[in-house]
Structure 1
């Protein structure tokens, strides 16, 4: 029997939208509570093994599907008005409030995967976090990418997204093995931000009028992998420049050092990569 309970629920955002979530409650003494910020188009089930591991170690965890994704998709994806911005401004803050209600009077941490770490500065309540641990979170800036990957990235962002949105009313990212189908505005904003410096910074003063990127000063750890073609060192540095006061540590992993075939952009959270999870535990225990 696992040393934790996993329960499914719906979390109501400020605009009354209901988010599908899973809460992992440890049976042992609580060490802290963790919000898992998912990557773009990735369902919460992807993080189940990782979340179970953390719960076994005494951490309360909440995972969730952003609106328009997985269990948080209502109706057809082409009818969803979700955007990356509303994921950070509406969905993540609501889930964080639920995390605090489920696990009161403890330390709160964000573990962000790609977009899940990039969007934290849009959360109005992010100042209540104790720390942030991000994997593969970077600006994703296209012009910094290696030539070997740049062609594929430009094809997806600058041809496939506009084509798919025009002909299908949403982005069929699943056709290219890139997670769930994406609502039109999510993909449009993703394209705009990855074609700019500083990711979300491209929308400052346009659609983003309030944020905490200039206020967060908590400890953060930014982890990437040498075989990740997206979150390369230059793009991690580009994203870090947006967090003007944050206390940042960085770590670059090589699969060869851990007898792994691959880490890349996604495999850190795989059950096969448990050898990497000690970095998370070490980080959490320092905070």
Structure 2
């Protein structure tokens, strides 16, 4: 994990149900109603500190930035996870919604953009106030329908995430991902949502808690970036999520490692510092301007 870089400060924000969420803020000294505020939604069970260097990059190039941990993770983890109630839908409808409320009170009038990694892209469409978001950038975004995994890894991933993970969760009362070196420890409800084998988000266990069809309120211009060597964020998985965003303009940018002269990128490395000069400008220009750099890598599909 990367360490936090200055000038980040800590903050806490209560969700609508009273749960206290922790995060980090990069904020310029002088307010500016035209300055974009970027909220970074993490991948499932990845601490928000993972995105600190990327957040600092956005800050250095004229954005205010918020990162935060969903309930049960990192800065928002309770004393004990056994028996702790949290689901994917909670992470979107309560926790991301709380960040939108924080934005409205602490950054009034500033345009809001969201960078969503993996499930973090899905979380955007679960918040009741998602309509206030101006732009969305998704990276490897999907909701883990197993048939969408890359064919050459599908059965291994099915065994790891959809067989071993729920069995271990049942045994421990939460998923002990940290001791396995897989990811952060994860609440049971999140595991149930992740490992459900339905191709529809609203049919996941926590989908019943959503007040209406998820994603319908999203009106933001949305760019989904997928990497050709990402076994989760395949074309099928990315397009499945984008198909929910009927009220938004949507673009899909498909980038291969060879496009940027590297051997691999995968599901996580887009946010690694080594791609600061190659991939991060794509994100910056999208959240600030809603456009792509000239002669940038990848194949764009509208």
In the alignment, which of 263, 269, 278 is matched to residue 267 of structure 1? 269
Q: Tell me how far apart the structure 1 counterparts of residues 152 and 22 of structure 2 sit (CA, whole Å).
A: 37
Change (3 A) 1:214 1:40: same
Q: Tell me how far apart the structure 1 counterparts of residues 6 and 109 of structure 2 sit (CA, whole Å).
A: 19
State whether structure 2 residue 190 is matched by structure 1 residue 186. yes
Q: Tell me how far apart the structure 2 counterparts of residues 10 and 170 of structure 1 sit (CA, whole Å).
A: 24
1:158 is displaced (CA, Å) by 2.6
Cα deviation code 1:227-246 (max 9, x no counterpart): 10001001111111222222
Aligned twin of 2:231: 229
For this pair of structures, how many residues does the alignment match?
283
5 Å-filtered alignment, 1:1-287, equals 5-27=7-29, 30=32, 31-174=35-178, 177-192=181-196, 195-200=197-202, 202=204, 206-274=208-276, 275-287=278-290
* Larger CA deviation: 60-69 vs 73-82: 73-82
1:16 is displaced (CA, Å) by 1.0
Contact 1:28–1:58 (Cα < 8 Å) also in 2: no
* Larger CA deviation: 47-56 vs 71-80: 71-80
- Gap runs ≥5 in structure 2: 291-302
Aligned twin of 2:296: none
Q: Tell me how far apart the structure 2 counterparts of residues 88 and 205 of structure 1 sit (CA, whole Å).
A: 11
Q: Tell me how far apart the structure 2 counterparts of residues 162 and 222 of structure 1 sit (CA, whole Å).
A: 29
Q: Tell me how far apart the structure 1 counterparts of residues 139 and 229 of structure 2 sit (CA, whole Å).
A: 13
1:162 is displaced (CA, Å) by 2.2
Using the size of structure 2 for normalisation, the TM-score is 0.87
Change (3 A) 1:89 1:152: same
1:212 is displaced (CA, Å) by 4.8
Cα deviation code 1:131-154 (max 9, x no counterpart): 111101023221132332111221
Q: Tell me how far apart the structure 1 counterparts of residues 214 and 189 of structure 2 sit (CA, whole Å).
A: 23
* Larger CA deviation: 153-162 vs 125-134: 153-162
Q: Tell me how far apart the structure 2 counterparts of residues 73 and 135 of structure 1 sit (CA, whole Å).
A: 25
1:78 is displaced (CA, Å) by 1.6
* Larger CA deviation: 99-108 vs 232-241: 99-108
Q: Tell me how far apart the structure 2 counterparts of residues 130 and 273 of structure 1 sit (CA, whole Å).
A: 25
- Gap runs ≥5 in structure 1: none
Root-mean-square deviation over aligned CA pairs:
2.0
* Larger CA deviation: 29-38 vs 116-125: 29-38
Contact 1:41–1:178 (Cα < 8 Å) also in 2: no
1:81 is displaced (CA, Å) by 0.8
| 3-state SS of 2:193 partner | helix
Q: Tell me how far apart the structure 1 counterparts of residues 27 and 99 of structure 2 sit (CA, whole Å).
A: 15
